Structure formats: structure tokens, C-alpha cells
Chains A and B, each alone.
Chain A
């Protein structure tokens, strides 16, 4: 167990007790709390992509920002034209990104094998989240007009297959790494424990709470720690305050624009529901972020 898993365990116990105290937490309450944590922890973990990129690759600022923002615009257009394809692409991209950040410190040397592990680990995570909460997901998507199209993918048999295949494949891949001496028994047991913990979390908690818990504690805070340690390795005197100063400008900018867009949606100016808009915003900022982090992890 690493310190992030420990924080995750503490959060699970806290949420157990909160759930016991409030027998039912409404969807609106879940969305408000989740938005708060995603905005203040999720967004900052991608707020220094430009700094990380220039530490690993040389490119003109104009070209970088052009490519970064160009990808965002392209993905927005793809969402408006082909929402279902965009959604599936977003799932696959997120899966790979989650898997990559999970194993970056594992020192795996089978380079061709790693992307398969990253992808399946992330797909298993998303499949588990969706499989345990399929009825809740169907209800949420059916509730809003512009998300009703996603309802076609909510087939229980299909989800069961997806859930089983991805989870079994991930377990086989982890065991393969252990057999090939790529992973110690200590790391393997930690990974298996984490998978069990994630299953328990997604099974017991509602979709939004379960995902937020994973995304904030096991992904965003973990990635921020990796970023912090990177700067610390460059300059021993680098501290938390300096790190927060680096995160602040683009975090505030992103939080501001996201809030404006959500407010416009709430007031009916955009003609897009808040959940649908949230998915679009999260996915379009995930695309360039995932590419930058891939470069950061591999260079």
C-alpha cells in the first residue's frame, strides 16, 4: 500500500460514515461535491502541461499552444458532429492515461507490452465503474435529452462481457509481469489490493462519488505528486509553495472558463445540459493533457 492508497482507504471510511449519517445523498448534492473536488484537484493536475512539455521537448511556444488548443477545438467539433464516437474515444484515451499514470513508477522494461497493460488496466477500471452502476448511469443519461443517445450502449450483457474480459486480462497481464520478474511480489500484492479496493468502492458508492474518489485521490493527487517530485529532482530547494505557484495561473483560468460555460449552460444559453457539457469539457482537456503526460513519462 502506498500513501495514495492509504488516503483512499481513509476517504472510503469517511464516506462510509457520511453515508451512514445521511441515508440518501441526492444526485444534485453528488454533482455539487464532485464538481468541487474535480475543479480544485482534477484541473490543477493538468495545469502545468506546458512546463512539463518544454522540460522534455523543444518546440516554439506558438507551435505548442497552437497544437494544444487546436486539439481541443478539433475534439469539440468531433463531439458536436459525432458524440457517440467521441465518447468512446474519450473512454479509450482516459483508460490509457489512467493506466499509464498508475504504472509509471513500476520500472517496467517490456516497452511493447506496457501500452497493452496501461490500456487494459484503465479499461477494467472504467468497465468496473460502469458495470456496477449501470442502472444509475442509464437513469442519468435518460434524464437529459442530449445524453439520451448514449443509452444505446447500456446493455447489461455487453457490459458484463466488457467488465469480465478487461478485468481478467488485466489480472493475467499483471501475473505475466510477475512471472517475467518485471514486478515484485510486494508490488503485485499492492496492485491486486488496489483493484479489490476499487471494485469495493465502485460497488458500494454511487457512480459519481465512486468516480470522483478514484479520480481525485488515485489519479490527480498521484499525478501532482509525480510532477512535484520531478521538479524537486531538478532543484532540491523546490518546495510546495513554488509548486502551488506553478499550478495556480492555468488552474484559475480553467476553473473560471469551466464555471462560465457551466453557468451559461445552466441559464440555457448553450442548449447543452450540464452533464453533457461537463463530459465534453473534461474530455477535450484530457486529450492534449494525456499526450503531454505520455511524452513526460516516456522521455
Chain B
């Protein structure tokens, strides 16, 4: 069994952050799951969704950690599978938090569709880039720009909804100051935390930002951002749930 364990170099920061990410997500899932018993019934589902987000991510990080260990290459496939499941769940959190203020299921589905749209387009842009087969970075420019534009539209929809659209308006209507503040904090996560993903997209070989940020280091940023975004999202929801349950 021990013979199967991959050797990790001390300067393998990508591998290091895959380990950290996995353990942090795993610990966060257990935390959110067990803390469900301490909050009022109306918040239990929100905490379960938080536990699911970090739990799904933990499983994928386990795979990605091993994938990286064996192949030493970016696990794009697993990463997008993870995001396609967890990001819509983050959007569900917006719905659950604003439901008492009158959020409809239609809002939830719009946010889910926008987030899946964003991720599927991003995956096509990144994984099926002609530059990957030809080896010439410029071959993939038009492909990555086109799918980048399509993907960004989904992101901007979620961003707009969280800051000015239905989600923001419902949060303002909410009787609870904690919910208002919490939704605003989650909107900051979407604005700042999620920005790492389009930035990472543009750091692909041949991408405009590849000269600004080393593409080989993008996995480190993805791993740190994932941990902060997913656990942070969950902690904000946890804070709202515990504050409102007192």
C-alpha cells in the first residue's frame, strides 16, 4: 500500500495545495454537517448544501491530488466536473437565503442555468482548445475568446443578480440585518473570489495573461481560491444560520 504513495517534491506547491485543499474541504464538510443540529430547522437545508459543496469538492480534490501526483499535469477534467456540481449549489444558497423574503424557484433555476452555462462554456474553451493538439498557442486564440465571451455572460448574469438584480433586491427586502449582510458578503465572494476563474482561463498557454502569470502556477491559485470560496461561502451561511437561530 505504501508503495503506491506518490513521491512529492518539497517544492511541489501545486501538489501541496491539493493536499491542503482536500483536507480543508473534508474538515469543513464534517463541520457543517454536524453543526446542522445546532441551528433552527429552516436553516438546516442551507447548512446541508454547504456541507455538500465542500464534500463534493473534497472527493474531487482527492482525485485531483492523485492525478497530479501521477501525471504532474493540470486535472482540467476533474476540476470542471467539481465546479459544475458545486457552483450551481452555491447559487442554490442564494435562493435558500432569500427564500423567506419571497425568492421564487424561477430565480433558483435562472442562477443554476447561468452558472452551468458559464462552466460548460469555460470547459469547452479550455479542454477542446485546438492549441492543445497543435502545440501552437495562437491556434487556439479565436476558440478560447469565443467560449470565453459565452462563459463570461453567465458569470456576469450571476454577478449582476447578486449585486443589483433579484437576489440583491430580495436581500434588501429581508427583515433580517444578518441575512442582508450575509448576502452582501456572498456577493463579494462572487465578485472577487470567483474572478480567479476567468483570470485563470486567460492564463492558458497563448492566453492574454499568460505573460503576466505563469500558467504552471495557476493550479496553486485555483486550489487556494477554491478553498477560500467554498469554505468561505459555507462559513457565511453558517454565520447567518447560527445568528438567526439564537
Query: Which 7 A-B residue pairs are closest in the complex by CB-CB distance?
Result: A20-B208, A21-B145, A19-B208, A20-B145, A13-B152, A17-B148, A17-B145
Q: Which residues of A contact B212 (CB under 8 A)?
A: 204
A23 to B145, CA, bound (A): 12
B-binding residues in A (CB < 8 A): 1, 3, 6, 9-10, 13, 16-17, 19-21, 23, 186, 189, 193, 204
A113 to B67, CA, bound (A): 58
A6-B141 in contact (CB<8A) = no
Q: Which residues of B contact A204 (CB under 8 A)?
A: 209, 212
Say which one of B9-17, B46-54, B81-89, B156-164 lies at the interface with A.
B156-164
A137 to B198, CA, bound (A): 29
B160-A6 in contact (CB<8A) = yes
- What are 5 A-B pairs at a CB distance below 8 A? A17-B145, A17-B148, A17-B149, A20-B208, A21-B142
Mostly, the A contact residues are helix
Query: Given contacts A1-B163, A20-B207, is CB(A13)–CB(B191) below 8 Å?
Result: no
Q: Which residues of B contact A23 (CB under 8 A)?
A: 138, 141, 208
A-binding residues in B (CB < 8 A): 138, 141-142, 144-145, 148-149, 152, 155-156, 159-160, 163-164, 184, 187-188, 191-192, 198, 202, 207-209, 212
A202 to B150, CA, bound (A): 25
B192 (CB) vs chain A CBs: closest residue: A193
A19 to B208, CA, bound (A): 7
Query: Given contacts A9-B191, A13-B198, A204-B212, is CB(A20)–CB(B159) below 8 Å?
Result: no
A34 to B160, CA, bound (A): 27
Q: Which residues of B contact A16 (CB under 8 A)?
A: 198, 202, 208-209
Q: Which residues of A contact B207 (CB under 8 A)?
A: 20
Query: Given contacts A1-B191, A6-B164, is CB(A20)–CB(B152) below 8 Å?
Result: no
A243 to B161, CA, bound (A): 28
A186 to B185, CA, bound (A): 10
Report which of B156, B164, B184 forms a contact with A3, defined as CB distance below 8 A. B164
The smallest beta-carbon distance between A193 and chain B, in angstroms, is 7
Q: Which residues of B contact A193 (CB under 8 A)?
A: 191-192
A204 to B164, CA, bound (A): 27
A19 to B156, CA, bound (A): 19
A20 to B198, CA, bound (A): 12
B141-A21 in contact (CB<8A) = yes
B149 (CB) vs chain A CBs: closest residue: A17
A193 to B130, CA, bound (A): 36
Known: A6-B164, A19-B208. 19 other contacts (CB 8 A): A6-B159, A6-B160, A10-B156, A13-B152, A13-B155, A13-B156, A16-B198, A16-B208, A16-B209, A17-B149, A20-B148, A20-B202, A21-B141, A21-B145, A23-B138, A23-B141, A23-B208, A193-B191, A204-B209
